Structure 1
C-alpha cells in the first residue's frame, strides 16, 4: 500500500540516518500555505513542514550551520517541481533541549 505521506516518510528516513536524533518531530503545515500565490496550481499536499531535530550532530555548530546541514539533505526535494517548498527548523543538541525543559519547570 502506498503511503499517504511519501515526502514526510522520506524526510523522516533521511533525518534519522543523517543525524540519529533523540527527538524528531515533523509537522506538515502545507494546508496553511495552500492559498499562497507560489502554491497556485500545485497538487502536492507536502510542501511546507515544521521540523524539530535534537541531535548530538549539532554540537558546537551555530544555528545557520545546523540549518544548512538539514537543507543539504533535501536539495533534490526542494529543486523538484511541486516538491518541498519550505522548512521551518528547530535544531538543538540534547543539552540545549534539557536546559529548555529545566527552564519550563522553574
Structure 2
C-alpha cells in the first residue's frame, strides 16, 4: 500500500472505518504511549500500536457485539498484520448513542 508511509496509522484507521461503515462518528485515539516498554511492543517502541476507537454507524443495527467487533477487525486486518497490536472498540448505532429517535 503506497500511502502507508504518508498517513499515520490513526488516519488510515479513521478513513477505513468511516468509508466502509458509512459512520456518523469515528473517533480514533492513539494510546500507544500507555504501553511503552511492554514486552509485546518493546521492539516497536509503542509507536502507533494501541488505539481506542468509537464508531457510530447504522451498519451495526441488528448486529451483536461480537459481529460488530468482527466487522471492525476485518476492516483493519492489514493494520493488525503490520504492527497494530491492540484496539479497544466501542461500536454503537446512532439510536444507541442517542443521536436519533
Asked if residue 30 in structure 1 is aligned to residue 59 in structure 2, the reply is: no
- Displacement, 1:21? 1.0
Asked if residue 87 in structure 1 is aligned to residue 70 in structure 2, the reply is: no
Segments of 4+ in structure 1 off by > 2 A?
Answer: none
- Indicate the larger mover: 89-98 or 71-80: 71-80
Q: How far apart, in 2, do the equivalents of 1:15 and 1:91 lie?
A: 11
1:52-91 to 2 correspondence within 5 Å?
A: 52-80=54-82, 83-91=83-91
**What corresponds to 1:102 in structure 2?**
none
Larger Rg: 1
Q: When the two structures are aligned, how many residues end up with a matched partner?
A: 95
Structure 2: gaps of 5 or more residues: none
Structure 1: gaps of 5 or more residues: 100-106
Q: How far apart, in 1, do the equivalents of 2:12 and 2:23 lie?
A: 15
- Displacement, 1:44? 5.1
Pick the structure with more helix per residue: 1
DSSP 3-state at the match of 1:89: strand
The one-character-per-residue Cα deviations of 1:54-106 (angstroms, maximum 9, x if unpaired) are 000000000000000000011111112xx10000000000000008xxxxxxx
- Displacement, 1:24? 1.2
Q: How far apart, in 2, do the equivalents of 1:44 and 1:50 lie?
A: 14
Q: How far apart, in 2, do the equivalents of 1:41 and 1:23 lie?
A: 33
- Displacement, 1:48? 0.2
